[in-house]
């Protein structure tokens, strides 16, 4: 029958373990008499003695000890019966175990002793008993915490008093330099703080990052603790290595009562951090109006400048704090003060489109045409950001529509280049000059043509813009449009009598430029126009002077072409995949990356050339710089700059290990690269985080355009889907899948957000067929725990809406990412203030 007594159920529990858990001493005795195995363990490594001790069943514990249960047996996490009894406050069990010689200073996996667990959980009677049995009062955990620190951190005043009476050291520090007083102050335990101070705890000790108990109390809004510390003469003007004082922290977090207490105790109202950031600036930036008012009443310098040159007024303009701005102006703030890059508050408000603030500043005699160091005015800033209401307000107040910046750009040029039709219309209605040239000789029409903004080009032509104007490269708007492949702009210019025979400084006409860049559609449009409008050319040549023959066309080398003699790759590749191999190497005398691809079919050759064409025109800070491609030897190769920080996921992981969170700022950079592509009618079509690389300077850049195509052209005959789990449902459905487009890129970017935030690929370990099954049936992935913010998760859902028409537009997505990135930067500033020193989490995982 012995076997029956030791029968094990699914979780490893025997009859003896169950009886011990429930405190059935008679059953335990009976089972032991029937030879039940006394030291059998359940799934977590707990014996009957440990379970009885944890649950406070002293009679069962005594019985098991009499039957020779091992008194110091431990679980996988190092818990012994004594540790469990002490943690749960079972004094009688603790006494019994000690009488049976349990080791009193044994530690569990985190280095906690029985005394520390009892102190942490406020079991004063158990603490007293352990001290009477000579428990080590100064024992420290793996992170340096003592029983006194744990009791103080959790506000157990009686335990703190008891430990102090037993001579616990008040000023011992843990690994980050925190004392018991700091833990109590951080968590607002005023009675414990008072007690520690009565026992002469050092009040101005600084932890590893320069924080004092006063700073910790201020940050967390514990006014009673702040008052108590100040009454005990805590130093008010101590600065951390990063520079913030207690007053600056109080202002930043809006702790009005603490600010009042601090200034009354002599806190210096203008004492700044290492960036020159003052308490007044912090209050202004965060919109803490009453804090700001109090600081001003105590003579804070209203126009003090940070290291970057900004004042509190700039910070308030940047964050849209109109009441703060009004109060600052009432106290004499200089409305025209130049800040970072000599920007005035008006320029900042214009860039953020805050009409109410613009009108307030102008009403206080802000200089409407003041220029920053780049020569930009408030109107320029409004135009750059597409802020129509702000631009209209400025023009209504008399802003000069023709003022040029340092590179001779007028607001109209900026509107033309950015594609802001409504602003451009307003500018020409306000008599903006249409034919003014910037320093490269381009007019607003040249810029609109180059970037494919046909409505603006039409607007300018209708307002008598010169169609055949030449820039410093002797290129006309038609040539610019032809180079970029903007068909509608080319048609418009041709209809407006653009000169098809004009040639640039290299002797190339618009048609020849289009041919060199493989813009066959543009060549056809110009040729058709020449047929309809015959020119003097009657010798069988087009306006470029090149005969219209297939053999001649095939001999022309593309703009992206690099001869193989100029390229040398290293011996061994550093990466490879189904596409081919990637080498480091040399292009002429420059160190580069060389991506070699196998091209065996005509469709593969077309795909290679398409990727080269797309990459060639994708010149942007957030796209990996492309130097050219070689197709005169096998394998074919692309040559680009090396992104020495690797792909985005690896970069974020490394930065996170260094204590930095850059997720949203890097996503912002990637989004700007994607927006650049879309503005040039390019669909990326294969966006995921390993296609986002990071430069040596930490800039995120898009790469890999193998599946990309120009939305105005064919994407090619090949049906390559790409990575399923990043793909929009309409592109991977079985019936009539959609061609990738701008909306599907937005969906893919949403999946990149999931990947960057979680540190794992979307959908985790699910196989691709299962992911496809879910997505095509409109079942979205479950919200990952890494998304702490509801707003960020709703943002992902909006980008990944199953109906493409309901998805966020990319420009709107960028606005939200910019906000998250700004919040992330602010949080980093706060972490820098605190030195990322967090309250030590010493709570022991519960036992099941």
Tell me whether the omega of the peptide bond preceding residue 635 falls within 30 degrees of 0, making it cis: yes
pLDDT in tens, 552-596: 333 446 778 888 888 988 888 888 765 678 899 998 878 899 999
**pLDDT for the residue 47:** 92
Q: What sign has the CA pseudo-torsion 827, 833, 836, 840? A: negative
Q: Are 544 and 508 in contact (CB under 8 A)?
A: yes
What pLDDT sits at residue 39? 87
Q: 40-46 long-range CB contacts below 8 Å, 24 or more apart?
A: 40/6, 40/8, 40/14, 40/16, 41/12, 41/75, 42/11, 42/12, 42/13, 42/17, 43/11, 43/12, 44/75, 44/76, 44/847, 44/848, 45/74, 45/75, 45/76, 45/77, 46/17, 46/75, 46/79, 46/847
Please state the φ and ψ torsions of residue 772, each to the nearest 5 degrees. Answer: -60, -40
Mean pLDDT, range 533-553, rounded to an integer: 41
Give per-residue burial for 823-841: e unless 16+ CB within 10 Å, then b.
ebeeebbebbbbbebeebe
Counting Cα atoms < 13 Å in the Cβ hemisphere of 84 gives 28
> How far, in Å, are 730, 796, 803, 818 from residue 799 at the CA level?
14, 5, 10, 15
Confidence of residue 550 (pLDDT cuts 50, 70, 90): very low
3-state DSSP call for residue 374? coil
Report yes or no: 50 and 80 within 8 Å, Cβ to Cβ: yes
Helix (H, G, I), strand (E, B) or coil at 513: helix
Q: Which of 52, 47, 42 is nearest to 8 (CA)?
A: 42
269: Cβ–Cβ under 8 A, 6 or more apart, which residues? 247, 263, 278, 279, 280, 295, 298, 299, 300
User: b/e for 304-337, b at 16 or more Cβ within 10 A?
Assistant: bbbeeebbbbbbbbbbbbbebbebbbebebebeb
Percent of the chain residues past pLDDT 70, beyond the cut? 91
Cβ neighbours for 344, distance < 8 A, ≥ 6 positions apart:
335, 336, 337, 338, 366, 367, 370, 372, 378
Q: In the prediction, which pLDDT does 705 show?
A: 66
pLDDT at 598: 87
β partners of residue 575 = 582
Give the whole-angstrom CA distance, residue 200 versus residue 203.
Answer: 8
Closest CA to 30 of 55, 56, 5: 5
Which pLDDT belongs to residue 307? Answer: 92
- H helices present in 680-789, as ranges: 729-732, 742-758, 768-776
**How would you classify the pairing of strands 575-577 and 580-587?**
antiparallel
**Residue from 341, 328, 410 nearest 374 by CA:** 341
Q: Supply the pLDDT for residue 716.
A: 40
d(CA 496, CA 504) in angstroms, rounded, equals 19
Contact 432, 460 (CB under 8 A): no
Taking alpha carbons only, the member of 777, 783, 782, 784 closest to residue 802 is 777
The tens digit of pLDDT for each residue in 746-773 reads 999 999 999 999 999 998 888 888 888 8
> 564-640 falls under which CATH superfamily?
Phosphorylase Kinase; domain 1 (3.30.200.20)
Break the chain down into helix, strand, coil percent, rounded to 5. 45, 5, 45
> Do residues 684 and 709 touch, judged by C-beta distance below 8 A?
no
Residues pairing with 701 in the sheet: 693
Q: What is the pLDDT of residue 311?
A: 97
Q: Find, among 634, 784, 633, 616, the residue nearest to 705 by Cα.
A: 616
Give helix 421-429 / helix 454-462 axis angle, nearest 10°. 10
* Main-chain phi, psi angles of 387, to 5 degrees: -90, 85
Distance between CA atoms of residues 488 and 457, nearest Å: 10
Q: Which residue has better confidence, 534 or 138?
A: 138
Kindly tell me the burial class for residue 765, based on how many C-beta atoms sit within 10 Å of its own C-beta (0-12, 13-18, 19 or more): exposed
Assign domain 467-556 to its CATH architecture: Alpha Horseshoe (1.25)
Three-state SS for 662?
coil
Parse the chain into domains and list their residue ranges: 467-556, 564-640, 648-712+721-834
CA distance linking residue 535 with residue 9, whole number of Å:
95
Distance CA 730, CA 740 (A): 9
Rounded to whole angstroms, the Cα distance separating 40 from 31 reads: 13
Share of the chain above pLDDT 90, in %: 68
Q: With 70 as the cut, is the pLDDT of residue 11 above it?
A: no
Q: 330 near 298, Cβ under 8 Å?
A: no
Pairing of strands 692-694, 700-702: antiparallel
Neighbouring C-alpha atoms within 13 Å toward the C-beta of 72: 11
CB 294 within 8 A of CB 334: no
> Can you give the pLDDT at residue 784?
92
**Of residues 561, 706, 704, 705, the one with CA closest to residue 630:** 561
> Over the chain, what is the mean pLDDT?
89
pLDDT digits (tens, 9 = 90+) for 613-652: 888 878 888 999 889 999 888 889 999 998 889 899 999 9
Higher pLDDT, 574 or 195: 195
Report the C-alpha gap between 82 and 117 in whole angstroms: 10
pLDDT at 177: 94
Stronger pLDDT, 239 or 575, i.e. the higher one: 239
Three-state secondary structure call for residue 139: coil
Exposed e or buried b for every residue in 706-724, given b needs 16+ CB within 10 A? bbbbbbebebeeeeeebbb
pLDDT band at 264 (very low <50, low <70, confident <90, very high): very high
Distance CA 428, CA 417 (A): 15
State how far the Cα of 333 lies from the Cα of 327, in Å rounded to an integer.
9
The C-alpha angle with vertex 486 and arms to 482 and 490, in degrees rounded to 5, equals 65
Q: Which one-letter DSSP state was computed for residue 547? A: B
Tracing tokens 């008052």 back to the chain, one arrives at: 227
Q: How many CB atoms lie within 10 A of CB 808?
A: 21
CATH topology of domain 648-712+721-834: Transferase(Phosphotransferase); domain 1 (1.10.510)
- Res. 842 pLDDT band, cuts 50 70 90: very low
- Max mean pLDDT among 39-43, 193-197, 549-553, 587-591 falls in 193-197
How, if at all, do strands 692-694 and 590-597 pair? unpaired
Confidence class for position 9, pLDDT limits 50, 70, 90:
low
* SS3 state at 594: strand
Contacts of 567 (CB under 8 A, 6+ apart): 585, 586, 587, 594, 630, 637, 639
Mean pLDDT of 203-230: 96
pLDDT tens readout for residues 282-310: 999 999 999 999 999 999 999 999 999 99
Q: Do the domains at 467-556 and 564-640 have one common CATH topology?
A: no
- The larger pLDDT score, comparing residue 611 to residue 272, is at 272
**pLDDT band per the 50, 70, 90 thresholds, residue 531:** confident
* Three-class SS state of 567: strand
Pairing of β 580-587 and β 626-630: unpaired
Q: How confident is the model at residue 846 (pLDDT cuts 50, 70, 90)?
A: very low
pLDDT at 714: 41
Residue of 445, 510, 451, 448 whose CA lies nearest to 475: 510
Alpha-carbon span 11 to 8, nearest angstrom: 8
pLDDT at 708 exceeding the cut of 60? no
């Amino acid at each position: 029958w012995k076997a029956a007594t030791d029968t094990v159920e699914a979780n490893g529990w025997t009859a003896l373990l169950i009886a011990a858990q429930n405190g059935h001493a008679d059953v335990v005795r009976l089972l032991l008499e029937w030879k039940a195995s006394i030291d059998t363990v359940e799934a977590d490594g707990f014996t009957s003695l440990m379970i009885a001790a944890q649950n406070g069943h002293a009679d069962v514990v005594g019985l098991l000890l009499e039957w020779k249960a091992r008194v110091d047996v431990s679980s996988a996490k190092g818990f012994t019966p004594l540790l469990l009894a002490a943690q749960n406050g079972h004094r009688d069990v603790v006494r019994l175990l000690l009488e049976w010689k349990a080791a009193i200073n044994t530690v569990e996996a985190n280095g906690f002793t029985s005394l520390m667990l009892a102190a942490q959980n406020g079991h004063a009677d158990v603490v007293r008993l352990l001290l009477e049995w000579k428990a080590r009062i100064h024992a420290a955990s793996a992170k340096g915490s003592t029983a006194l620190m744990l009791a103080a951190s959790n506000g157990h005043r009686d335990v703190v008093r008891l430990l102090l009476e037993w001579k616990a050291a008040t000023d011992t520090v843990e690994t980050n330099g925190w004392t018991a007083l700091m833990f109590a102050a951080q968590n607002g335990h005023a009675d414990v703080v008072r007690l520690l101070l009565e026992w002469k705890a050092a009040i101005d000790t600084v932890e590893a990052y320069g924080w004092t108990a006063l700073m910790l109390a201020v940050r967390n809004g514990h006014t009673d603790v702040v008052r108590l510390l100040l009454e005990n003469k805590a130093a008010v003007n101590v600065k951390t290595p990063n520079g913030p004082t207690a007053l600056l922290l109080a202002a930043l977090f809006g702790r009005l009562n603490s600010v009042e207490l601090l200034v009354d105790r002599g806190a210096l109202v203008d004492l700044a951090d290492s960036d020159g950031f003052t308490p007044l600036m912090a209050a202004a930036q965060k919109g803490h109006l009453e804090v700001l008012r109090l600081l001003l009443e105590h003579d804070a310098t209203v126009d003090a400048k940070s290291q970057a040159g900004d004042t509190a007024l700039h910070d308030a303009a940047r964050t849209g704090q109109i009441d703060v701005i009004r109060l600052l102006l009432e106290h004499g703030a200089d409305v025209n003060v130049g800040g970072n890059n000599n920007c005035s508050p008006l320029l900042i408000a214009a860039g953020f489109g805050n009409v109410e603030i613009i009108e307030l500043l102008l009403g206080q005699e802000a200089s409407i045409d003041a220029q920053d160091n780049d020569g930009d005015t408030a109107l320029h800033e409004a135009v750059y950001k597409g802020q129509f209401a702000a631009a209209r307000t400025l023009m209504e107040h008399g802003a000069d529509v023709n003022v040029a910046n340092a590179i001779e750009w007028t607001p109209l040029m900026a509107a033309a280049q950015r594609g802001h039709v409504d602003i451009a219309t307003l500018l020409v209605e306000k008599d903006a000059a249409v034919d003014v040239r910037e320093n490269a000789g381009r007019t607003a029409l040249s810029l609109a043509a180059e970037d494919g903004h046909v409505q603006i080009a039409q607007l300018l032509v209708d307002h008598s813009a010169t169609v055949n104007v030449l820039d410093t490269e002797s290129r006309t708007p038609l040539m610019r449009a032809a180079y970029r492949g903007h068909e509608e702009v080319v048609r418009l210019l041709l209809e407006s009598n653009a000169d098809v025979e004009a040639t640039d400084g290299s002797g190339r006409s618009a048609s020849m430029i289009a041919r060199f860049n493989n813009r066959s559609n543009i060549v056809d449009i110009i040729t058709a126009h020449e047929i309809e409008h015959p020119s003097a050319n009657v010798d069988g040549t087009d306006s470029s002077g090149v005969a219209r023959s297939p053999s001649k066309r095939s001999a022309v080398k593309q703009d992206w072409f690099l001869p193989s003699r100029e390229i040398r790759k290293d011996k061994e590749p550093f990466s490879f995949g189904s596409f081919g191999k990637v080498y480091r190497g040399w292009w002429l005398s420059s160190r580069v990356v060389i991506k070699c691809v196998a091209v065996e079919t005509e469709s593969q050759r077309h795909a290679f050339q398409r990727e080269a064409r797309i990459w060639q025109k994708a010149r942007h800070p957030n796209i990996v710089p492309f130097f050219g491609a070689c197709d005169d030897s096998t394998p074919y190769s692309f040559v680009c700059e090396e992104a020495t920080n690797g792909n985005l996921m690896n970069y974020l992981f490394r930065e996170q290990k260094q204590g930095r969170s850059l997720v949203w700022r890097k996503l912002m950079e990637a989004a700007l690269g994607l927006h650049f592509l879309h503005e040039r009618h390019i669909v990326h079509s294969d966006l995921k985080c390993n296609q986002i690389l990071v430069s040596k300077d930490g800039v995120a850049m898009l790469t890999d355009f193998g599946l990309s195509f120009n939305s105005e052209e064919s994407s090619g005959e090949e049906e390559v889907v790409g990575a399923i789990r990043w793909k929009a449902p309409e592109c991977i459905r079985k019936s009539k899948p959609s061609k990738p487009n701008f909306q599907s890129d937005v969906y893919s970017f949403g999946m990149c957000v999931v990947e960057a935030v979680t540190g794992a690929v979307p959908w985790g370990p699910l196989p691709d067929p299962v992911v496809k099954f879910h997505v095509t049936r409109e079942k979205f992935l479950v919200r990952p725990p890494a998304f702490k913010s509801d707003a960020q998760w709703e943002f992902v859902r909006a980008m990944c809406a199953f109906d493409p028409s309901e998805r966020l537009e990319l420009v709107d997505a960028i606005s939200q990412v910019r906000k998250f990135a700004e919040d992330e930067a602010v949080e980093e500033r706060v972490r820098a203030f605190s030195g990322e020193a967090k309250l030590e989490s010493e709570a022991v995982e519960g036992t099941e």
